[in-house]
Amino acid sequence: MTEHVTVREQDLLDEVRQWLSENWTKEIAEELRRENVYWETSAARKAWLGNVVEARWAVPSWPEAWHGRGLDNDQAKLIEREFARVKAPGAGQDRNNLWANTLLARGQEALKQQLIAPLLRSEVNMCLLYSEPGAGSDLAGIRTRADKEGDHYVVNGQKVWTSGAATADYGMLIARTNWDVPKHQGISFFFCPMKQPGIEVRPLRQITNESHFNEVFITDAVVPAGNLLGSEGTGWQVLTMALAYERSTMGEAARGPRSGVREGKNEEPLLALAREAGRLEEPNLRQEIAQAIAYKRLNALNTARAKAELTQGNSSSIMSLGKLAMSRILHEEGRIRTKILGAGSLLEGEAHPRAEDANFLSLNAYFTSIGGGTDQIQRNIIGERVLGLPKEPEVDKSLPFRDVRTSG
Amino acid sequence: MTEHVTVREQDLLDEVRQWLSENWTKEIAEELRRENVYWETSAARKAWLGNVVEARWAVPSWPEAWHGRGLDNDQAKLIEREFARVKAPGAGQDRNNLWANTLLARGQEALKQQLIAPLLRSEVNMCLLYSEPGAGSDLAGIRTRADKEGDHYVVNGQKVWTSGAATADYGMLIARTNWDVPKHQGISFFFCPMKQPGIEVRPLRQITNESHFNEVFITDAVVPAGNLLGSEGTGWQVLTMALAYERSTMGEAARGPRSGVREGKNEEPLLALAREAGRLEEPNLRQEIAQAIAYKRLNALNTARAKAELTQGNSSSIMSLGKLAMSRILHEEGRIRTKILGAGSLLEGEAHPRAEDANFLSLNAYFTSIGGGTDQIQRNIIGERVLGLPKEPEVDKSLPFRDVRTSG
Amino acid sequence: MWDKSLNTLSIEEAEEALKDDTIDGRLMAVPETAVRETMETSSGFEAGLWRQLAEMGVTGLIIEEKFGGSGVGPVELEAVMEEAGAALLCAPLLASSVIAASLLQQLGDVTVCENLLPRMASGDCIASAVLTGDAGNWTPEGVSVEATEAADGWQLSGRGSYVLHAQSADILIVIAKTAADFAAFTVDSKAAGLSIEALPTFDKTLRLASVDLEAVAASRIDAVLPVWDAVKRTLDMALVALAGEQAGGASKVLEFTVEYAKTRVQFGRQIGSYQAIKHMAADLLVETESALSAARYAAACLAENSDKSDEAVSLAAFACADAYVKAAADGIQMHGGIAFTWEHPAHLYLRRARSGAQLFGDSDYHRENYLQALGG
Amino acid sequence: MWDKSLNTLSIEEAEEALKDDTIDGRLMAVPETAVRETMETSSGFEAGLWRQLAEMGVTGLIIEEKFGGSGVGPVELEAVMEEAGAALLCAPLLASSVIAASLLQQLGDVTVCENLLPRMASGDCIASAVLTGDAGNWTPEGVSVEATEAADGWQLSGRGSYVLHAQSADILIVIAKTAADFAAFTVDSKAAGLSIEALPTFDKTLRLASVDLEAVAASRIDAVLPVWDAVKRTLDMALVALAGEQAGGASKVLEFTVEYAKTRVQFGRQIGSYQAIKHMAADLLVETESALSAARYAAACLAENSDKSDEAVSLAAFACADAYVKAAADGIQMHGGIAFTWEHPAHLYLRRARSGAQLFGDSDYHRENYLQALGG
């Protein structure tokens, strides 16, 4: 699609290009490329981000009071594109910085003053304290409690599927502050300080024998009243907004092979694997491989078409379509890789990278078909929000939460 | 399994063998084989059945007062087996005559005197007046009404999926006699005379372009109070019993090809078809054909194992398993036949019997996956009755029926 | 409503075509009763509607303007076919306005084009192509007519089959084997030695015929490129048109099935509130949206002569065929008994879906082509 | 509860075997914690439990009484394996008590049988068979060891792989190619020139090893029938045992998944009350019951030397493998996040299901054999 650049925007383009040419030097680019830490952010990166924030390129659509320029989204996009063109990080955070956006939208003045800038500079590490063992699909069923005592809240409960909890400074926490109202109305949303005795983080071992997540045990943890976002009892709305930010930026979380052993280049992985295994000529496999590739390509076409079509508002529904499609794609890829390897898939380990990949991908597919809303929940969402089918009777929707039936 | 025949049973065997050798003559056997009418029963057959009833072989486990011998089921089975051995009809009606069993169990004395014997002699034609356009899966949601006026009921409503309605003398009818109680409690069960002005039968055209069923429009039809089975409002229990009889005798209603053009003998139809089409060597087809045959054989093994294991009581659950499995078997057979024929499946008619069969079977598979409880209902039944999973909240279970929400 | 939010086109030109109510508006207006009447006729189409289609410019959609058409491309064609599929349109559109029109233009014999295309665009002349025989094989091996050159010109002998709407055709374009290669010919449907026999079809909205030729005098088309190349490109165009029809049909089935699930009440609840139905619908939406994407992408690739065309056309061919069959089949199951009756439209869609899935090769065939196009 | 109503056996002898609590009772008693401990050990089995199995008569189940076993047949074996599968039993049962025991008896060399079988029955000796190489192909083409006769006897060279529990074996039975045909040999696992290397397995409850032989002195088994016939019958026995294990494992997964669905509450309802979960469970029951039927039928056919044996064994092989994989896979989905954790047993079953589905050829291979057995 062709771009119609107005004069005002031309000035903007000139400015950002000018600034980048002066500041995004080869040396800095090199330095940032070198360092590649998983959770931690390097000093060099923080420094660069500092400059970007300073120059008001980080969140151009935000008000000037908050490091922004009050631009509209299209103008902000231009800046983002310029940064992307030269592969410079730090722009577009008004679109993709979940933490800062949530805080700006619902945080109290003091907390914003304290954390917005550091968040934009990635000086603060964050994590999500949403899911609980008893509240997975039914997130509003959380039982972690936050009881107000004077100028702070005392929090008790357990969270699960938290990534980055060990290194996080704050966690975006939903906890129940009122047990006498229906489940959606008694929840509050906090920035919970993680570096305190009341917070115990235990790594969670996945079926893939990795640990990318934690369980977080919260015992009499203290959260200043000033860290409440929105008002007490409006946590569900804050959460809904935060989840929307997440979705709008979340690409598919699917991971590729982990063996790291390269497969055929520029070729569909399943084709390359079948070729390598000398089984590419088998008609049964050819059909299954073609169909699996088709699922992937069709989902890409859908996403492309959806992106071209959609306005912010109904993005979630399309995301749901993509996520559901992706979980079939991933399970099929695992299944067919296993089939191609045959007896070889009985093995694993470094000496057997193909088996390692086939088995890992087969198990890790559940990360998508269960995580972030199971396929079954996704089908409900698609059926109800996209197709407009009626909801099921919700037995617990209007009960006071203390009367709601929960597991065990 | 070996048979342990007690002395008492030996006498019985001698008697029935003796009787058959005297009465089941070649001539009669021939005559009955010749006549093969679809709905009507021939005079010769009626005559033979008369003899069987007369000799108390029709319903040996019934009381002597009702043409029986008061035998236990195993003894009755012996008689049935003897009849089966020489291919003589009419025995085992204490097991497989839905109408007579229902009437005997719940009918009023006068109606029993009037109809039991004729029913055993197949002199009376019957049909089922259960389903309605608005009450398919939810059979208890029927809206056909029966209002008592003096010594009879006046019936108004519409029934559907009725086979044999055109030739039937009576229909086993469920109608609502009380609208102020929950839906299961306001239903009554009748033997409804079909040959009366208030009954209009219209053939129903199926997607297979055949008509094996009718719609029955009931307008001020009259049913004598003496034709009520059970008491008013207990119709659901009578129905449940009748359905159990049906299930316990119903083999799979699945039909084979209709073209009548013979396929390979003593060979699985799909194998024969692929061979005939010269495609038996195609690996893709071989896998699909093998799997389709496997589904069929596995279901047969399940049924055999279930029959060997089960007592009357829990038969329905096994039937449900079989029906669900059968609907996959039938849809798969249609799909694979179509695939084998390829472009040939575009055609139909006498000149293209294979296409006719593939297309017919593909459509007729819905007779099993929808008729007599959809696959979805079957899964509910299996999940709840066999696996013991909890029911869904039933929003209308305890409402007075006039307050229950229905279609439109 | 719901589908519009997703179905609006991603390619501008196509958007234009769809915005043009004179096309989709009227096509969609064809009522089911009209379809049921038409499908019982021997011709399988209704002259009045055919004229309307001509007035709308549908019959000349892909015919170049210099030959009396509107000369737009596969993108617009695909968009129109989506509507045609949704409406179960009964007409020789695929036979004459797509296959014959495309084949003549690909072969590029100007004289023949000037003679036939304007009348085809105006709907006055119906043409159909004889490409395969009773084997229904759409590869060069499938060609079942032989051409021999006699003193007084070319003669055709053999038996063609699965010829779309041949029973209504004025002109047949016949692909035949010559001693050397393949050649294309035009034959008058009334020609001596030619006999056209209607084939009984499972899909009542489809018309097929066999064509027997015994030393039929035919005039050879002077092709500007190898004949089979022209046929291949024509089949690509036909597959894109069919894919559009299938995607449109599949979306339509899902739409009316969902509508029914919103109104049909059992056990005091709309059946669409049960996960069994709701989840089937959600899964179908993935398939129908994928079908729309595939069909439109293939059309765009053809329009741009993209090197992805083979890949995209094959993908659309099986993705749309399978999606339509699944949507039509599951749609019946979701309706329950009502859709087991002849009077309900569901089976009309299933019949059309099943037929489309076999018309130019089945999904396994297209999947195999797809893998080859991907380099496998 | 629910499964008992269906799972009670249809064949008397099997019923006996199952009623015998000393067998299934104790096998079922193996707690998950014990399984997790054992699966982390290098041997992959626990001596105490192995002794128990010997005392129960499980290790000698199919060994003739004259050789110190209980001499019962495939029906009892299948019944026991159902329990072993449900309990994720970690032991060289399949390697030594099924494959090696069956192979030795099929080969029928009385001296060898008298020497080895009694110690195998008592559990004092663990044997395993080398039948295939790195290709993991269980046909005659798969044999990867060569035997040459030297002055001082036979020597074996080559590399065998996918050898069950070879790392714990005292004796290896090696099938090797000779100039003429195939021959079977016994080799001491400590023999010179023999090196056994454990292979890392995806299924933690499984033990596999490769076996490299360099001019290893071996004593030839004097076979009473063609060696590959003996191997084929042994593989049939192994497939029936595996099928039983798979059917038992699949039923167990469905059982604990259904139990979880009855207790896990979301949105104020047990998740098992939702059709999404309920219908998955119902569909799984069809598969698990079919698996039990297939495994038991195949066992009965083998027991009777029925001419349906090939057909029945192949059917059980892919029906049980597929049912187990589906039950274990869907079971995880039905559990949700909890089953994505290492601590939950679900993945142990999935790993075992996936491995069993590849152990002696995959389901496509067995489906192909099935079709051939049906005459296709």
- D371–B384 CB contact, under 8 Å: no
Strand B228-229 and strand B187-193: pairing?
Answer: antiparallel
Report chain B residues whose CB lies below 8 A from the CB of D331: none
D269 contact C CB<8A:
no
Q: Are strands D127-130 and D171-177 parallel, antiparallel or unpaired?
A: parallel
Report CB contact under 8 Å: A141, D267: yes
Distance of residue B408 Cα from the nearest chain C Cα, in angstroms: 6
Cβ contacts of A2 within 8 Å, gap of 6 or more: none
Residue A148: helix, strand or coil by DSSP? Answer: strand
Q: At what angle do helices B269-276 and B283-309 cross, to 10 degrees?
A: 160
* Contact by Cβ (8 Å): A191, A115: yes
Distance CA C301, CA C292 (A): 14
Q: Using CA atoms, how far apart are residues B241 and C256, in angstroms rounded to an integer?
A: 37
pLDDT of D41: 96
Instruction: Show residues of chain B in contact with A393, CB under 8 Å.
Output: 393, 395
Name the pairing type of β-strands D208-220 and D153-164: antiparallel
Which of D269, D275, D333 best probes binding to C when mutated, by most C CB atoms within 10 angstroms?
Answer: D275
C266 touches chain D (CB under 8 A): no
pLDDT of residue C363: 98
Residues of A in contact with B395 (CB under 8 A): 393
The Cα angle at residue A269 between residues A263 and A271, in degrees rounded to 5? 110
Residue count (chain C): 376
Which of B283, B287, B395 minimises the CB distance to A393? B395
| Strand-pair category, C194-199 with A145-149 | unpaired
In this model, does residue C262 exceed pLDDT 90?
Answer: yes
pLDDT by 10s per residue, chain D, length 376: 223 222 333 334 434 444 444 555 566 578 899 999 999 999 999 999 999 999 999 999 999 999 999 999 999 999 999 999 999 999 999 999 999 999 999 999 999 999 999 999 999 999 999 999 999 999 999 999 999 998 889 999 999 999 999 999 999 999 999 998 999 999 999 999 999 999 999 999 999 999 999 999 999 999 999 999 999 999 999 999 999 999 999 999 999 999 999 999 999 999 999 999 999 999 999 999 999 999 999 999 999 999 999 999 999 999 999 999 999 999 999 999 999 999 999 999 999 999 999 999 999 999 999 999 999 9
- In this complex, is the C-beta atom of C269 within 8 Å of any C-beta atom belonging to chain D? no
Helices D74-86/D21-29 angle, 10° precision: 20
Euclidean distance between the first and final Cα of chain A, in Å? 56
Asked if residue C302 lies in contact with residue C240, where contact means CB atoms within 8 angstroms, the answer is yes
Q: Which of C265, C277, C347 to mutate to test the interface with B (most CBs of B within 10 A)?
A: C265
Partners of D200 on chain A (C-beta within 8 Å) are 347-349, 351-352
pLDDT computed for residue B271 by the predictor: 97
C18 has a pLDDT exceeding 80: no
Question: What's the count of helices (H) and strands (E) in chain C, helices before strands?
Answer: 13, 9
Closest CA to C66 of C25, C14, C105, C107: C105
Our CA-based measurement puts residue C265 at a distance from the nearest CA of chain B, in whole angstroms, of: 5
**Taking the CA of residue B213 as centre, how many other CA atoms within 13 Å lie in the half-sphere pointing to its CB?**
23
Nearest by CB to A284, from B283, B392, B393: name it.
Answer: B283
- Chain C partners of D274 at a C-beta cutoff of 8 Å? 275
Residue D227 to residues B159, C205, D183, D240, D304: CA-CA distances in angstroms?
Answer: 69, 63, 6, 20, 22
User: What percentage of chain A carries pLDDT values higher than 70?
Assistant: 91
Of C5, C8, C293, the CB nearest to A298: C293
* Closest chain A residue by Cα to residue C279: A379
Cβ atoms of D240 and D296 closer than 8 Å:
no
Q: What is the DSSP string of D5-63?
A: HHHS-SSHHHHHHHH-HHHHHHHHH--HHHHHHHHHSSS-S-HHHHHHHHHHT-TTTTS
Which of D252, D243, D251 has its CA nearest to residue D366? D243
Q: In this complex, which chains have at least 3 CB pairs below 8 Å with chain A?
A: B, C, D
The pLDDT of residue C5 is 28
Cβ-defined contact of B284 to A282 (cutoff 8 Å): no
**How many other β-carbons are positioned within 10 Å of the β-carbon of residue D284?**
25
pLDDT at A372: 86
Alpha-carbon span C291 to C284, nearest angstrom: 10
Cβ-defined contact of B389 to D364 (cutoff 8 Å): no
Instruction: Locate the chain C residue with the closest alpha carbon to A268.
Output: C374
CA distance B302 to chain C (A): 25
Which of C1, C4, C6 to probe the A interface (max A CBs under 10 A)? C6
Mean pLDDT, residues B85-99 taken together: 93
How far is it, in rounded angstroms, from Cα C202 to Cα B355? 9
Residues in chain D with CB shorter than 8 Å from the CB of C276 are 275, 279
pLDDT value at residue A406? 82
Distances (CA, A) of C187 to C213, C221, D45: 10, 10, 80
| Interface touch A284/B282, C-beta < 8 Å | no
Q: Which of A133, A362, A407 sits opposite D263 (nearest CB)?
A: A407
Residues of chain D positioned with their CB less than 8 A from the CB of A347: 199-202, 208
What are the strands, taking DSSP E only, across A163-269? 170-176, 187-193, 199-204, 213-224, 228-229
What lies within 8 Å, CB to CB, of A41 at 6+ separation is A122, A123, A125
Q: Within an 8 Å CB–CB cutoff, is residue A395 touching chain B?
A: yes
CB within 8 Å: C276 and D274: no
Confidence of residue C23 (pLDDT cuts 50, 70, 90): low
Amino acid letter, residue B260: G
- Of residues C71 and B4, which shows the higher confidence score? C71
Q: Does B338 contact C355 at a Cβ distance shorter than 8 Å?
A: no
Q: Give the burial string for A266-293 (b: 16+ CB within 10 Å, else e).
A: eebbbbbbbbebebbebebbbbbbbbbb
User: How far away is chain D from the Cα of B376, in angstroms, using its nearest Cα?
Assistant: 8
Is B8's pLDDT higher than 50? Answer: yes
Report the interhelical angle of C47-56 vs C21-29 (nearest 10°).
Answer: 160
Q: What is the interface pTM, i.e. ipTM, of the complex?
A: 0.93
Q: What is the pLDDT of residue A318?
A: 58
Instruction: Name the nearest CA neighbour of D95 among D39, D64, D50.
Output: D50
C333 and B369 in contact by Cβ < 8 A?
A: yes
- Residue B314's pLDDT is 45
In this predicted structure, what is the pLDDT of residue A90? 94
**Contact between D276 and C274 using a beta-carbon 8 Å cutoff:** no
> Which residues are paired to D129 by β-bridges?
D173
CB contact under 8 A, C267 and B349: no
Q: Which residue of C has its CA nearest to B407?
A: C265
Place of tokens 């599949």: C250
Distance, CA of C163 to CA of D238 (rounded, Å): 55
Closest C-alpha to C27, from C249, C187, C239 = C249
What pLDDT does B407 receive?
A: 76
Alpha-carbon torsion angle B254, B255, B256, B257, nearest 10 = -140
- Residue D226's Cβ-count burial label (10 Å; 0-12, 13-18, 19+) is exposed
Facing A284 at nearest CB: one of B284, B392, B395: B284
Among A346, A351, A369, select the one facing D201 at the smallest CB separation.
A346
Of A325, D368, A288, nearest in space to C364 by CA:
A288
Residue C364: its chain B contacts at CB < 8 A?
284, 339
Residues of chain A with pLDDT under 50: 1-3, 38, 251-253, 311-316
- pLDDT of C17 strictly over 70: no
Contact A390 C269 (CB under 8 A): yes
What CA–CA distance (Å, rounded) separates D318 from D243? 8
Give the tens place of pLDDT for each residue, C320-364: 999 999 999 999 999 999 999 999 999 999 999 999 999 999 999
Whether residue A390 and residue C270 make contact (CB cut-off 8 A), yes or no, is: yes
Residue of B204, B362, B374 with shortest CB distance to C336: B374
pLDDT tens-place string over residues B116-157? 999 999 999 999 999 999 999 999 999 999 999 999 999 999
The average confidence (pLDDT) of chain B is 90
**Closest approach of chain B CAs to the CA of A378, in angstroms?**
20
B290/D279 CB distance under 8 A:
no
pLDDT over threshold 90, residue C126? yes
